[in-house]
A and B are shown apart, each in its own frame.
Chain A
Amino acid sequence: MGRAAGAAAGLARRLAALVVVMLAVSVVTFLLLRLLPGDPAVSIVGAENATAENLARVRRDLRLDRPLPVQYGAWLWGVVRGDLGQSYQKNAPVSSLIGAALPVTGELTVIALLMSTVSVPIAAVGLRRRGGPLGRVINVMPLVLLAIPTFVLALLMIWTFSVWLDLLPASGWVRLSDSFSSNLRTAVLPASVLAAGNIGVLTRVLHGEMSSTAQQDFVAVARAKGLTMGRIVRSHILKPSLLPAITVLGLQVGAMLAGAVIVETVFAIPGIGRLLVESIYQRDLLTVQGVVLLVACVYVTMNTLVDVLYGILDPRTRRVGTHG
């Protein structure tokens, strides 16, 4: 009973912290957008159509002529009621724009995360072949993956797999609801690019952790018992080495959302990243605020989940959490 109450209190604390973080993010986003140079009204009507009357009307419609606290308060009140507002530029509710884009980015992220699991066998092989040519390649590979800028990697993949090998489409997106196979074909390249950095980080972390674990006494005991290196890696080294990787994975979800901005733009994919970029260019303030709030929410939630998962997988941290 006491443990359950403690867990509930811990969860409540986390949720409260989540709300505070979201509020802070919303305030910062709101202020930053207002500080951006450029007049949303000019962006909306276009320089060639700009008249004093048009600009004044748009500012009035967008309530940009009201004090900032009033603008923010009105938006926040809407958010509390589940209304992210209406995109003036796109003539559509922000929630529906996000609703259309989120499954796309979500699918890409999930595929990329699944692809990222390849880091586990790579790191394991790297450990077993440590010192050999393959081990050295695996040691360097994460650095290469992390060093290549996302847009360069995206273009390299397009030229290799679309133009040269003619295996996959160079750009575009077929929704899952339209065709499963076509959807997968359009998802493979962008998800691979999205996963590349993640694979680099995870392989690097896992490789380091596994190397460190391999120095532990219990591994020496296992060796002395005559277990093969493969079995030792699978049964004794991998599990304790996965814990830091889980933390990294939580952080990498945020990185992947950031990467989606580039990947979705290059591959012309109608996801959250492209919606965000276009909305910034168009000074579609409410859509930007909505998307940033969502991304922050996902990021914070993921990291909260990782913390919880960490506690479940590692009893030591659970005890610290309970007492702390």
Chain B
Amino acid sequence: MSGGQLTVAVEAEPTGWNPLTDPCNEACSAVRNAFFEPLVDYDAGGAVKPFVAESITPNQDGSEWTLTLRAGVTFSNGAAVTAQAISDLFTMLRGEGSLVASRLAGLSEVVVSDPLTVTFKLAGPDTGFADQLTTIPVFDPTAAAADPGAFSSSPVGTGPFVVSSWDRGSQLVASRNSSYWRKSASGVSLPYLDGITFRFIPDEDARLASLEAGDVDVIQTLRESTVRRAGEVTGVVVESFQGNQSTGGVFNTAKAPTDDLRVRKGLTALLDQAALIDVLGGAGISEPATQHFARSSPFWSQAAADNYTISDTERGTAWLKEYIDDPARSDGKDPGSPIQVEFNCLPDPSLTEMSQAIQALWQQTGQVEVKLNTLESAAHIAAVVGSDPDYAGSFQVACWRNGSQADPSTVQTNYSATAGNPANFHNEVDEDILSWFEAAKRETDRATRAGYFQRIFARVDERAYFYYLGHTVSALGALAAGQCVGRVDAARWERRVWPPERRRQMAGGMGLGMTCG
């Protein structure tokens, strides 16, 4: 059973679809994955498996990775996915102007052995290189180089759909890639759907109303309050996924008073995690977070959880008192005087409520005076990233989404040297952390490698660079099958559009296009 159209509403659209030049957030990924696929991907157990590639094999120390491509795979423009194309692609990805160049900094050379085999030669051992490849979309380098502007509007990848039209600010119509390479287990050519229309509806209420009104079949959201409301609507099925990301914040160790560990730990301890999750609408939906990774991740660490102190007013008060009474306190104020902290956050209604709740919690003991700064997104990010040459940021505490779905090796730059490095938001360098990242690169045993990352994130919690509240719920709300008859065949909706094993990945924004196939 094939055919049909799906209309999916997402919260935002990117400036373009070129992985080389256009940043892509979660909403964008849900769309972009319809056009692009990685060479390798994770299986359900979290192990790297070949995808567009047929196989990938490291040498003994992980400094060389030989990748064999599947025969017969083509880009959506008909050009063959060859070893030379992959070599050209990675040359482009490492070149000037590439947003992903920093992720491929360890890649020295890509050698073409035969039409379907390439070898990635690294500057040194990196057993996580295949993990890095899961984040790199495969696209036609020739098309991208020929006309970057056109490519950004109408990308050429190997995914199951191609862009038919893109009306900026309104919708993108994707149609079936007739030369798509994958088939179902029963031998049916994928994707099943004829097309997907992605509509960009930034307003949460309007997006939910569009679903209720039947204007769209599926909506995407990252807002817990919307997840809750969608679940209360009759006829709407909500599939949610909690990955490693969490709502929380970052402390600036380059600014007093958050340069002092006691202040960072004290402020974190004064937070009431359950109450703040509730303020965000996530009670009963969003799992409390303690670290970069969720409990389901192989990198989750009990030591990190033990190091993380939150919802403990007594200890928080004690840490802050120690700082306040310290004659050598870093903010230069007189001993005994309250700590003054500025808290930056975005002008989103639920985040504003959260900011006010945090202000109340921090001020409850009389030890802290909090000034709230509501900044629009670009200003907020710039305050955290900072500017050339030190990139120390101008903030003290900022609300921030912590954690990521990617392999932990991809976040090494977040902990590397601060000068000239905009990616180290907290601005402290811990040599142990860096040495463990390097050790993890050389470690071939997966469990031991995971152990290094667990140590890293236990140290991160010990140094209290971040505070974590609840894991971010990424969700899709969809009209239940009964309401989709005539729009999307009910049987396909149940069995194919929403096969249970793919639901979680869909909800994670990791494969909407694939799943709809």
Residues of A within 8 A of B (CB): 36-40, 42-57, 89-92, 97, 100-101, 151, 154-155, 158-159, 162-163, 166, 169-173, 175, 264-271, 274-275, 278, 280-284
B202 to chain A, nearest CB (A): 6
- Between-chain CB contacts (< 8 Å), 7 pairs: A38-B378, A44-B15, A49-B102, A53-B101, A159-B209, A163-B212, A281-B376
A268 touches B206 (CB 8 A): yes
A170 touches B422 (CB 8 A): no
Known: A39-B387, A56-B388. A172 touches B379 (CB 8 A): no
A55 touches B381 (CB 8 A): no
CB neighbours of A90 from chain B (8 A): 15-16, 168
- Closest residue of chain A to B150 (Cβ to Cβ) is A91
B200 touches A49 (CB 8 A): no
A38 touches B23 (CB 8 A): no
- Closest residue of chain A to B99 (Cβ to Cβ) is A49
B210 touches A172 (CB 8 A): yes
Known: A55-B388, A56-B388, A268-B199. A50 touches B378 (CB 8 A): no
Known: A155-B209, A268-B203. A171 touches B215 (CB 8 A): yes
Q: In the bound complex, how far is the Cα of B167 from the Cα of A100, in angstroms? A: 9
Q: In the bound complex, how far is the Cα of B420 from the Cα of A266, in angstroms? A: 40
Chain B 166-206 against A: per-residue CB contact (8 Å), 1 yes, 0 no? 01111100000000000000000000000000011111011
CB neighbours of B209 from chain A (8 A): 155, 158-159, 162-163, 170-171
The residues in B between 388 and 427 inclusive whose CB is less than 8 angstroms from any CB of A are 388-389, 391, 413, 420-423, 425
Known: A91-B152, A171-B201. A50 touches B385 (CB 8 A): yes
Q: In the bound complex, how far is the Cα of B18 from the Cα of A315, in angstroms? A: 60
A sample of 19 more A-B contacts (CB under 8 A), given A49-B100, A90-B16, A91-B148, is A36-B379, A38-B377, A38-B382, A39-B385, A48-B23, A50-B385, A50-B423, A51-B422, A51-B423, A52-B391, A52-B420, A54-B99, A57-B97, A91-B149, A92-B149, A92-B153, A162-B215, A280-B376, A282-B378
CB neighbours of A42 from chain B (8 A): 378, 381-382, 385, 422
A45 touches B169 (CB 8 A): no
Known: A37-B383, A45-B99, A50-B423. A268 touches B201 (CB 8 A): yes
B149 touches A270 (CB 8 A): no
Partner of B167, one of A46, A51, A270: A270
B144 to chain A, nearest CB (A): 12
CB neighbours of B96 from chain A (8 A): 53, 57
Q: In the bound complex, how far is the Cα of B388 from the Cα of A166, in angstroms? A: 54
CB neighbours of A91 from chain B (8 A): 15-16, 18, 21, 148-149, 152-153
Query: Which one of A37, A101, A175 has the highest number of Cβ atoms from chain B below 10 Å of its Cβ?
Result: A37
Q: In the bound complex, how far is the Cα of B381 from the Cα of A36, in angstroms? A: 13
Q: In the bound complex, how far is the Cα of B206 from the Cα of A216, in angstroms? A: 49
Q: Is B267 an interface residue (CB 8 A)?
A: no
- Closest residue of chain B to A87 (Cβ to Cβ) is B15
Q: In the bound complex, how far is the Cα of B205 from the Cα of A97, in angstroms? A: 27
Q: In the bound complex, how far is the Cα of B13 from the Cα of A278, in angstroms? A: 10
CB neighbours of A39 from chain B (8 A): 378, 382, 385, 387
CB neighbours of B169 from chain A (8 A): 101, 264, 268-271, 274-275, 278
The residues in B between 359 and 396 inclusive whose CB is less than 8 angstroms from any CB of A are 375-385, 387-389, 391
B22 to chain A, nearest CB (A): 8
Q: Is B214 an interface residue (CB 8 A)?
A: yes
Q: How many residue-residue contacts, CB under 8 A, span A and B?
A: 172
The residues in B between 10 and 30 inclusive whose CB is less than 8 angstroms from any CB of A are 15-16, 18, 21, 23, 25
A57 to chain B, nearest CB (A): 6
Known: A49-B100, A50-B385, A91-B149. A158 touches B15 (CB 8 A): no
B237 to chain A, nearest CB (A): 17
- Closest residue of chain B to A86 (Cβ to Cβ) is B149
B117 to chain A, nearest CB (A): 30
Q: Is B213 an interface residue (CB 8 A)?
A: yes
Q: In the bound complex, how far is the Cα of B421 from the Cα of A172, in angstroms? A: 41
B389 to chain A, nearest CB (A): 8
- Closest residue of chain B to A275 (Cβ to Cβ) is B169
A163 touches B213 (CB 8 A): yes
Q: In the bound complex, how far is the Cα of B205 from the Cα of A266, in angstroms? A: 8
Partner of A268, one of B200, B376, B387: B200
A270 touches B168 (CB 8 A): yes
Q: In the bound complex, how far is the Cα of B26 from the Cα of A48, in angstroms? A: 12
A37 touches B382 (CB 8 A): yes
B23 touches A45 (CB 8 A): yes
Q: In the bound complex, how far is the Cα of B21 from the Cα of A131, in angstroms? A: 66
A158 touches B23 (CB 8 A): no
Q: Is B449 an interface residue (CB 8 A)?
A: no
Q: Is B292 an interface residue (CB 8 A)?
A: no
B170 touches A270 (CB 8 A): yes
A169 touches B213 (CB 8 A): yes
A266 touches B102 (CB 8 A): no
B23 touches A46 (CB 8 A): yes
B106 to chain A, nearest CB (A): 14
CB neighbours of B262 from chain A (8 A): none
Q: In the bound complex, how far is the Cα of B387 from the Cα of A56, in angstroms? A: 10
Q: Is B471 an interface residue (CB 8 A)?
A: no
Query: Which one of A42, A45, A101, A170 has the highest number of Cβ atoms from chain B below 10 Å of its Cβ?
Result: A170
CB neighbours of B387 from chain A (8 A): 39
Partner of A281, one of B16, B377, B383, B421: B377
Q: In the bound complex, how far is the Cα of B204 from the Cα of A266, in angstroms? A: 9
B23 touches A44 (CB 8 A): yes
Top 6 closest pairs, chain A to chain B, by CB:
A270-B169, A46-B23, A38-B378, A37-B379, A50-B422, A38-B379
A81 to chain B, nearest CB (A): 21
A172 touches B171 (CB 8 A): yes
- Closest residue of chain B to A173 (Cβ to Cβ) is B170
Partner of B203, one of A46, A48, A173, A265: A265
Q: Is B207 an interface residue (CB 8 A)?
A: yes
The residues in B between 417 and 468 inclusive whose CB is less than 8 angstroms from any CB of A are 420-423, 425
The residues in B between 209 and 236 inclusive whose CB is less than 8 angstroms from any CB of A are 209-210, 212-215
Q: In the bound complex, how far is the Cα of B212 from the Cα of A91, in angstroms? A: 35
Q: In the bound complex, how far is the Cα of B201 from the Cα of A80, in angstroms? A: 36
The residues in B between 285 and 315 inclusive whose CB is less than 8 angstroms from any CB of A are none
Q: In the bound complex, how far is the Cα of B99 from the Cα of A89, in angstroms? A: 13
- Closest residue of chain A to B18 (Cβ to Cβ) is A91
Q: In the bound complex, how far is the Cα of B16 from the Cα of A97, in angstroms? A: 13
